[in-house]
Amino acid sequence: MAILEKKIYVGLTEETAIQLVKELAFFPIHAELTAKEIGDGNLNYVFRITDQEGGKSLIIKQALPYAKVVGESWPLTLKRSKIEADALIKHGEFVPLLVPKVYETDEDLAITIMEDLSHLKIARTGLIEGENYPKLARDIGEYIAKTLFYTSDFALHPFEKKRLVAAFSNPELCKITEDLVFTDPFFDIDTNDFEPELQSDVEAIWGNTALQIEAAKIKYSFLTEAEALLHGDLHTGSIFASEEETKVIDPEFAFYGPIGFDLGLFIANLVFQSIVRDGEQKEYILNQIEETWQVFYSVFSELWEKEGVDPFTKVSGYKESFLQKIFNDAVAFTGCELIRRTIGLSHVKDLDGIEDKEIRLAAKRKTLELGTSLILRKSDIQEIKGFISAIKEHTA
């Protein structure tokens, strides 16, 4: 029976994935198709379907009803598939070259059929292998500025903004972030995962009340500030890159939240690279962090000046004050991401992949120290040069 007609969720296999794209007539009827499951994320299946002879390929992404990283004991809404497809489409209105094209979606099957980007590499993988992506910082600075400005109250009619806030309500995925990024790492909770040698460093975090208060404040911003339609999980594993191209994927955590969150997540994931690299290569990454902020600032500023619809966007000084707030938020969000990827449930290969135990532990202690400092100094660090100095100070 045709897969689409059933209208009930069924997990795809490589065989049924081929059947599906044939039903949808993406390929000629007699095309010899191959399918391969290539997903390496925490939550979904990703099938690449190829017609070797016709030279055409595409991706089917299917949400699983549970978190793959933990197993069936952690059920997870399939609605995230629609959120992801809708966010790709919405963000694609503003940055069509920086996101994959969506060809088809099906809410019942929780699938999105989209452009195959296999000619690119996941940025995290390439960076770990020592590659550099000269356009990455510029493209991500522009991506964040445009997607977030155009979905904010500064660009939208208030009715449309509130319609989007409701359409992108994503409570279950937000709860994962609220727990894994903003709560669990700051308490002795079972889901935390760290090497026993870090016990005393971790206990210092759990016992730091000043840090917990600041973490609580930045978590509250995440919970309450519906500033713009965020990507929501903008780490380097959510980005495909080459020297010429950048494509942002996987916005299943999209929701209306504080603008500094996307910035902080991306910057933190560059910080991991600045820690594992030396000399000129370390400087290169630090320059990428600075460039991300500079590009974000200048693109967002220009949009504000030319296309701001709220009368207050014309009031001298308001733009600078708003951007300062975003900057300070981004500093603290960076700190939270550094800590959670070191001692929380979901780690990064940049750190865990360091083979030498002493070097790995030293790197992890740096991320904990820097993360703590950034959360505590959120309001003291006023501009990007000071941010870079703070990173250097704790990660030399």
Q: Which stretch binds ligand SR1 (CB under 6 A): 11-19, 106-114, 172-180, 388-396?
A: 172-180
| Alpha-carbon radius of gyration of the chain | 21
From residue 341, give the alpha-carbon distance in Å to each of 181, 271, 309, 329, 348.
8, 12, 38, 18, 6
Choose, by CB under 5 A, the member of 41, 78, 92, 198 that binds Mg ion.
41
Q: Closest by alpha carbon to 105, among 2, 4, 37, 27?
A: 4
Q: By C-beta, is 368 or 381 nearer to ligand SR1?
A: 368
41-60 mask for ligand SR1 (x: CB under 6 A)?
-xx-----------------
Q: By C-beta, is 185 or 251 nearer to Mg ion?
A: 251
Does 188 appear as a known binding residue? no
Q: How many residues bind ligand SR1 (CB under 6 A)?
A: 9
Residues 235-274 that bind ligand SR1 (CB under 6 A): none
From residue 189, give the alpha-carbon distance in Å to each of 123, 179, 185, 277, 343.
31, 10, 8, 32, 11
Least distance between ligand SR1 and beta carbon 161 (Å):
26
Write out 272-309 in H/E/C secondary structure: HHHHHCCHHHHHHHHHHHHHHHHHHHHHHHHHHHHHCC
Residues 177-196 that bind ligand SR1 (CB under 6 A): 177, 180
| Interacting partner of 180 out of Mg ion, ligand SR1, none (Cβ under 5 to 8 A depending on kind) | ligand SR1
Residue in this structure with the two tokens 């494509």, named with its chain if needed: 247
Q: Which residue has the CB atom at the shortest distance from ligand SR1? A: 346
DSSP state of 169: -
Q: Which stretch binds ligand SR1 (CB under 6 A): 83-91, 173-181, 194-202, 367-375?
A: 173-181
Structure token pair of residue 300: 């967002």
Q: By C-beta, is 41 or 92 nearer to Mg ion?
A: 41
Q: By C-beta, is 250 or 350 nearer to Mg ion?
A: 250
Least distance between ligand SR1 and beta carbon 266 (Å):
12
Structure token pair of residue 143: 């991506």
Q: Give the angle subtended at the CA of 104 by the CAs of 61 and 100, to the nearest 5°.
A: 65
Least distance between Mg ion and beta carbon 237 (Å):
7
Does 176 engage in binding with ligand SR1 (CB under 6 A)?
Answer: yes
Residues 312-371 that bind ligand SR1 (CB under 6 A): 346
Least distance between ligand SR1 and beta carbon 237 (Å):
7
203: how many CB neighbours lie within 10 A of its CB? Answer: 11
| Interacting partner of 338 out of Mg ion, ligand SR1, none (Cβ under 5 to 8 A depending on kind) | none
Alpha-carbon gap, residue 368 to 289, rounded angstroms: 19
Alpha-carbon gap, residue 306 to 297, rounded angstroms: 14
Q: Which stretch binds ligand SR1 (CB under 6 A): 153-161, 174-182, 241-249, 353-361?
A: 174-182
Structure token pair of residue 44: 């979904």
Q: Helix or strand or coil: residue 210? A: helix
| Interacting partner of 69 out of ligand SR1, Mg ion, none (Cβ under 5 to 8 A depending on kind) | ligand SR1
Q: Which stretch binds Mg ion (CB under 5 A): 37-45, 66-74, 316-324, 359-367?
A: 37-45
The pairing of beta strand 121-122 with beta strand 33-37? unpaired
Contact yes or no for 62/111 (Cβ under 8 A):
yes
CB burial readout 130-151, b (16+ within 10 A) else e: eeebeebbbbbbbbbbbbbbbb
How many residues are there in the chain? 396
Q: By C-beta, is 16 or 125 nearer to ligand SR1?
A: 125
Choose, by CB under 6 A, the member of 84, 233, 329, 350 that binds ligand SR1.
233
60-79 mask for ligand SR1 (x: CB under 6 A)?
-------x-x----------
| Interacting partner of 152 out of ligand SR1, Mg ion, none (Cβ under 5 to 8 A depending on kind) | none
Does 386 engage in binding with Mg ion (CB under 5 A)?
Answer: no
Per CB under 6 A, residues contacting ligand SR1 are 42-43, 67, 69, 176-177, 180, 233, 346
Per CB under 5 A, residues contacting Mg ion are 41, 250
